[in-house]
Amino acid sequence: MQHSSFLNLCAFALTLGTLTEPARAQAPPTKPNVLFIAVDDLRPELGCYGNTVIKSPNIDRLAKSGMVFLQAYCQQAVCSPSRSSLLTGRRPDATKVWDLVTHFRAALPDAVTLPQTFKQNGYHTAALNKIYHHGYEDGRSWSEPHWYSSGQTIDTDQTDYTKRTVVRVPGGVKEFSKELPTADADDPKAKKGPAFERSPKPEDQLPDGAAAAEAVKRLHSLKQTGKPFFLAVGMAKPHLPFISPQKYWDLYDPSKIPGADNDTLPEGAPKFAGHDNGELHGYPNIPAGNPISPELSRELRHGYYAAISYMDAQVGKVLDALKAEGLDKNTIVVLWGDHGWQLGDHGLWHKHTNFERATHAPLIISVPGMKNAGKKTVSLAEFVDIYPTLAELAGLSVPVGLDGTSLKPILDNPSASVKKVAISQYPRSADGEPVMGYSVRDPRWRLTLWRSRKTNATIATELYDEQNDPKELVNVASKPENAVIIARLTAELEVAYKGIGAVAIPKILPAAKPATDRNILFDKRDTNKDGKLTFEEFMMGQKDPEQAKERFAKFDANKDGVLSREEFVKMGKQS
């Protein structure tokens, strides 16, 4: 009997161990990191987009581990409006950013940005080089000041975005090998050198090389912390000026670089749909007047291609570091160009239009373990979709009121579709009257309605058959048989913009039950363990954000923008 009892006890212990083993083996799911690569002025001129001349091996490598969106569109083809829209998930008519001199928080003071959402969910968020338009940074988005390769960091006050703190940091690189002595240092628009240059500098002494080197350092340090991160890395090239080391120019035979699609505005298009190439003419080696000569055009296109290859090499360094640190298995990588770029198409250089070449931009999303790695999709995507997509992929709650739609269904199935149209816009002046051009793109057509900003009346219409006229040579809006197409696309525009700019009324939820020990609650919210709570730390997990904002202001007795432990505990008990 004793022997039998002993065997039974052993069997029971073994069974108990078997039952409890899975519970012991299960670890909490690891939050995926995000590597967020923003590229300035990059049109879809890459190997993975079918360009057989361009040399972009590193971005092409990323494409093999992710999905290439062949029909992705920005919301406005110029830097700040595009970036503000993408990072807030709102269209330009909601951000009120249609230019390069407006901060999105002027219209949306309480917007929770894409990186801010990750920050509020325990991520370390950091920005290197241009993410928001330079001069319009957003301190609430980041866990630390915004770093620039020029040798400075910039932060903004957590409650007043107009209060900026600029700090000089070691290092700092300049773009031109020799800056013009006549350039006005106080004028950000003053060009300090030519529109293109074969640089004698080492790669890491140019802005993108310095950004890549810093990103490599950051990935190493972030690996050591073990904390999930959202690292945004901005690449300046191929934005003007086209500066890259000689070896990247040597990759190309200028005679094999494709020329412009055409050199005039589309037949039947209003003259104000184009522009005068003012950005390019701002450089001292570009003569006045249009069109740009064939010889200069070839040199500019050569410089643009060389700049892409230089930028691609820097992206490669960051991707190599991600893998070397063992972070690639748990990091979502997204690479996007903030808008397209015209290389003489329609006689135009740079962006600033509603044409296909300006609004069409690259988007690549790579998710560890994705089943459709290496696939391409022709499903329409907008840059306002990136915010909800990344939030869903990371398992985060998506803020209400965003204008985009998650692209995850397309990542799961390249043939899936989440929207009928992609919409862009651009402001203009038509005979002195302010107008806004709203451009609606479906799989075949691009409709642009130019509407008065005073009366909303349509003063001009453009329609292009992108399937049979991909160079947009002829505006076919006046053809009677196309009236039904115009009506259908106009209806889609009205649906997309319904309520844009309206003030959303937040849903009032029951206040969260206060914790019994506010010291414990303080320690839980103090994610960076610096002994004080920032506004973002305080707002994390709040069920009623509006009431929480009022409590923060009330608790902050000395009005220094942060809460000490004493303020949090004492004032919280009194509320």
Which active-site residues does the annotation give? 79, 133
Alpha carbon separation from 396 to 32, 159, 525 (Å, rounded): 11, 24, 18
For residue 40, what are the contacts with CB-CB under 8 A and spacing of at least 6? 79, 130, 234, 235, 236, 237, 238, 239, 337, 338
Residue 392, token pair as written in the block: 């869903």
Q: Is 438 helix (H, G, I), strand (E, B) or coil?
A: strand
> d(Cα 70, Cα 365) in Å, to the nearest integer?
12
Alpha carbon separation from 477 to 139, 488, 491, 543 (Å, rounded): 45, 13, 16, 50
Sign, CA dihedral 351-357-360-366, equals: negative
Residues 58 and 316: beta-carbon distance below 8 Å: yes
Residues 362 and 72: beta-carbon distance below 8 Å: yes
Residues 315 and 62: beta-carbon distance below 8 Å: yes
Residue 358, token pair as written in the block: 């300006």
Residues 115 and 127: beta-carbon distance below 8 Å: yes
For residue 13, the surrounding DSSP H or E stretch is: helix 2-25
Residues 311 and 237: beta-carbon distance below 8 Å: yes
DSSP per-residue string spanning 463-527 = EEETTT-TT--B--TT-GGGHHHHHHHHHHHHHHHTTTTPPP-PPP-PPPPPPS-HHHHHHHH-T
Closest Cα partner for 265 from 254, 276, 250?
Answer: 276
Sign, CA dihedral 129-131-136-139, equals: negative
> d(Cα 224, Cα 227) in Å, to the nearest integer?
8
> d(Cα 295, Cα 275) in Å, to the nearest integer?
21
Q: Write a three-state SS string for 290-314.
A: CCCCHHHHHHHHHHHHHHHHHHHHH
Q: Are strands 532-533 and 67-69 parallel, antiparallel or unpaired?
A: unpaired
560 phi/psi in degrees, rounded to 5: -100, 5
Q: Are strands 532-533 and 563-564 parallel, antiparallel or unpaired?
A: antiparallel
> d(Cα 164, Cα 167) in Å, to the nearest integer?
10
Q: Write a three-state SS string for 527-541.
A: CCCCCEECHHHHHCC
CA 447 to chain centre: 25
Q: Which amino acid is at 497?
A: Y
